[in-house]
Amino acid sequence: MSFEDSSTSIETEQVADAVPAPANGPNPQRLHERLSVNSQLHISWRQDERSAQRSVRARAIDVSKFGVLLEAESPIPSGTVVSVQSSNFTMIGRASVRHCVPKGLNYRIGLFMPDRLTRGM
């Protein structure tokens, strides 16, 4: 399955939760503007072809043209390809984990998600 294979759109309730990012000015190192969101997601992946599928519930914090920042209770290794689903298990798309850093008792996980669905989240 490639990034372009998915064509499901994000639910209206998730878009309604979106608010503009903080007004303290854009980060000059960022190529794309971020939009704050508060959407529940399900993330699933396999460590390798022989391992069982793992999954974790996550909360989307913000989205940009090609990425999503999540907060989850479990870490996901950088480079892992994950499937992203809405709270009602509608497939949103696939993404690769760019970074995963501890944040309090949770983890902040940055996903690279180049398909168009991220733009509608």
Spatial distance between the Cα atoms of 14 and 44, rounded to a whole number of angstroms = 20
Read off the CATH number of the domain in which 92 is found.
Answer: 2.40.10.220
The residues that bridge with 21 in the sheet, in sequence order, are none
DSSP 53: P
Spatial distance between the Cα atoms of 82 and 12, rounded to a whole number of angstroms = 23
- Using CA atoms of 116, 74, 57, 8 in order, give the dihedral in degrees to the nearest 10: 20
Spatial distance between the Cα atoms of 107 and 119, rounded to a whole number of angstroms = 23
7-30 confidence digits (pLDDT tens)? 333 433 343 344 444 444 444 455
Domain extent for 37:
3-120
97-120 confidence digits (pLDDT tens)? 999 999 999 999 999 998 755 444
Query: pTM higher than 0.85, yes or no?
Result: no
Helix (H) or strand (E) holding 120: none
- Into how many domains does the chain fold? 1
